[in-house]
Amino acid sequence: MTRILNAEPLDYSPIARDILREIGTLEEIDLHRPELLTHLDETNVLIVRLRNQIDREVIESAPHLKVIVTATTGLDHIDTALTTELNIKVLSLKGEIDFLRSIPATAEHTWGLILGLVRNLPWAHQSVLSGEWQRDRFRGRDLCGRHLGIVGLGRIGEKIARYGQAFGMKVAAYDPYRQNWLPEVKRTSTLEELCHQSEIISLHIPLNDKTRGFFGAQAISWLPPGALLINTARGAVLDETALLVALENGLIGGVALDVLSDETAPERPLTARLVEYARSHTNLLLTPHIGGATIDSMHATEIFMAGKLAEYLSKAHLLKK
């Protein structure tokens, strides 16, 4: 039978697991990179999340690999040029727009980050744990009436726009590719126009050659004094070096990041600098790429991907009895 290795099975959907057992021999082992490299000799299907970089070394350690399954929209953790060259199929959530509209996790986390920044929630909590009770120290700002800017009005950006409207915010967006525009969302013709009017700006664009470093020093300089910036898309769409300079020089009011450009790198030098800044400042909020990591949303995507794998194996005549 087809040998399936789930290398990140923690809290994996029982329903998805049953589907996988119907189509192959399922092995579930929680593997970090060193162990992963030694467990791929007989693997036909590799299921991953975001822990490991599936690069040339990993792929070449799996001589019988036919399919990689990842319940993500981004594929920057997989060497897709090599998988194409070796005729290894990569199954993901990329392009599954209708299904993804039902998944709220990243949008909800984005809104949590906005509230965390605006109301100083993490730092107020830490202050209480330290034995303090300083109400005046943590005065926040209202969201109602403020200007929210959204870069990328796709499925997540659309949800953020509606959340903003529900909070009584004035919502604008920049997305040159969107055709049918949302009602009561102002359409801006340039990124500069959006930045100038945004008190809070949230990034929701995919990572590709055109968007790498898309939001850099110039865009940051266009923001009004005290503006807040949120990124739950991909780390590399934001020039984090320029961002750190802006933070250190007081050129931006606050930042919340769920994604970092070097989060999968072994040393993570830029991450270390951002973390060091966050230790001594109360205007940088960091979370470890947990935007999509709710049990509900992950189970839904795992079930979807298990079904997608079953369909692909059947059509490709790779189901081995």
| H helices present in the chain, as ranges | 14-23, 33-36, 56-60, 80-85, 97-100, 105-118, 121-129, 155-166, 191-197, 217-222, 240-248, 269-279, 295-315
At position 42, the amino acid (one-letter code) is E
DSSP assignment letter at 235: G
Nearest to 316 by CA among 20, 42, 2: 2
Radius of gyration (C-alpha) of the chain in whole angstroms? 21
DSSP state string for 82-126: HHHHTT-EEE-STT-HHHHTT--HHHHHHHHHHHHHHTTHHHHHH
CB atoms within 10 A of CB 252: 23
- Annotated catalytic residues are 234, 263, 289
